[in-house]
Amino acid sequence: MWRRITESKAPRAVILIRLLVGAVFLSEGIQKVLFPDQLGSGRFAKIGLPSPDVLGPFVGSAEIACGALVLVGMFTRMAAIPLLIIMAVALVTTELPIRAQQGFWSMVHEARTDWSMMLGALFLLVVGAGPWSVDRRLADKTGPDDVV
State pLDDT tens for residues 49-103.
999 999 999 999 999 999 999 999 999 999 999 999 999 999 999 888 888 899 9
Q: Is residue 145 over pLDDT 70?
A: no
Residue 147 lies in a domain: no
Q: Is residue 120 part of a domain?
A: yes
* Number of domains observed in the structure of the chain: 1
- Neighbouring C-beta atoms of residue 28, cutoff 10 Å: 19
148 in any annotated domain: no
DSSP string for 25-41: HHHHHHHHHH-HHHHSH
34 burial via Cβ count (<10 Å: 0-12, 13-18, 19+): exposed
Residue 106: give the domain boundaries.
Answer: 2-141
- Within a domain: 62: yes
The pLDDT score that the predictor gives to residue 148 is 42
Q: Is residue 24 part of a domain?
A: yes
